[in-house]
Amino acid sequence: MPVPALLVLLFLPAIPKTLLPLSFLSLKFDMDNSNEITHDFSPFFKVYKDGRIERSLVLEDLPAGLDPETGVLSKDVVLSPDSGVKARIFIPEIVGSDQKLPLLVHYHGGGFCVGSAFHILTKNVLTPIVSQGNVIAISIDYRLAPEHLLPIAYNDSWDGLEWIAGHSNGLGPEPWLNNHVDFGKVFLTGESAGANIAHYLAVQVGANGWAGLKLAGVILVHPFFGYKDVDEMHKYLCPTSSGGDDDPRLNPAVDPNLSKMGCQKALVCVAEKDFLRDRGEAYYKTLATSGWPGKVEFYETKGEDHCFNAFKQCGETDALNKKVVDFMTME
**CATH number assigned to the domain comprising residue 261:** 3.40.50.1820
Q: Which residue has the higher pLDDT, 4 or 200?
A: 200
Does the pLDDT value for residue 231 go beyond 60? yes
Q: What pLDDT sits at residue 34?
A: 74
**Catalytic residue selected from 119, 167, 234, 306:** 306
Query: How open is the CA angle 268-161-157, to the nearest 5 degrees?
Result: 75
Does the pLDDT value for residue 23 go beyond 70? no
Known active-site residue 192:
yes
Share of the chain above pLDDT 70, in %: 89
11 — pLDDT class (breaks 50, 70, 90): very low
- 139 and 26 in one domain? no
Whether 303 is covered by a domain: the verdict is yes
| The residue type at 111 | G
Whether 63 is covered by a domain: the verdict is no
- 252 and 129 in one domain? yes
277 neighbors 270 (Cβ within 8 angstroms): yes
- 12 and 110 in one domain? no
- 81 and 25 in one domain? no
- 180 and 209 in one domain? yes
Domain count, the chain: 2
Structure confidence by residue, pLDDT tens digits, 32-79: 567 999 999 999 999 999 999 999 888 999 999 999 999 999 999 999
The whole-number average pLDDT for the span 251-267 is 98
The whole-number average pLDDT for the span 148-164 is 98
**Catalytic residue selected from 139, 157, 192, 290:** 192
Structure confidence by residue, pLDDT tens digits, 83-141: 999 999 999 987 677 789 999 999 999 999 999 999 999 999 999 999 999 999 999 99
3-state helix, strand, coil in the chain (%, to 5): 35, 20, 45
Known active-site residue 255:
no
Whether 65 is covered by a domain: the verdict is no
Q: Which residue has the higher pLDDT, 5 or 187?
A: 187
Gyration radius of the chain's alpha carbons: 23
Q: Work out the end-to-end distance of the chain between its first and last CA atoms, rounded to an integer number of angstroms.
A: 66
The whole-number average pLDDT for the span 269-278 is 98
Does the pLDDT value for residue 21 go beyond 90? no
Q: What pLDDT sits at residue 154?
A: 98
24 — pLDDT class (breaks 50, 70, 90): very low
Mean pLDDT of the residues in the chain: 91
The whole-number average pLDDT for the span 286-301 is 98
Known active-site residue 306:
yes
Q: What pLDDT sits at residue 314?
A: 97
Whether 62 is covered by a domain: the verdict is no
Share of the chain above pLDDT 90, in %: 84
- 232 and 297 in one domain? yes
The CA distance from 282 to 305, in Å, is 18
Whether 241 is covered by a domain: the verdict is yes
- 136 and 195 in one domain? yes
Q: What pLDDT sits at residue 15?
A: 35
Q: What is the pTM of this model?
A: 0.90
Q: What pLDDT sits at residue 8?
A: 28
- Domain enclosing residue 85, as ranges: 73-329
Element (H, E) at 242: none
Q: Which residue has the higher pLDDT, 244 or 27?
A: 244
- 92 and 35 in one domain? no
Q: What pLDDT sits at residue 259?
A: 98
Whether 287 is covered by a domain: the verdict is yes
The whole-number average pLDDT for the span 305-316 is 97
Does the pLDDT value for residue 22 go beyond 60? no
Whether 66 is covered by a domain: the verdict is no
- 77 and 47 in one domain? no
Of 220, 9, 193, the C-alpha closest to 116 is: 193
The whole-number average pLDDT for the span 276-296 is 98
- 233 and 123 in one domain? yes
Structure confidence by residue, pLDDT tens digits, 170-197: 999 999 999 999 999 999 999 999 999 9
Eight-state DSSP code of residue 66: B
- 143 and 51 in one domain? no
- 170 and 36 in one domain? no
φ/ψ bin of 154: left (φ > 0), alpha (ψ from -120 to 50), beta (otherwise)? alpha
Whether 64 is covered by a domain: the verdict is no
Q: What pLDDT sits at residue 5?
A: 35
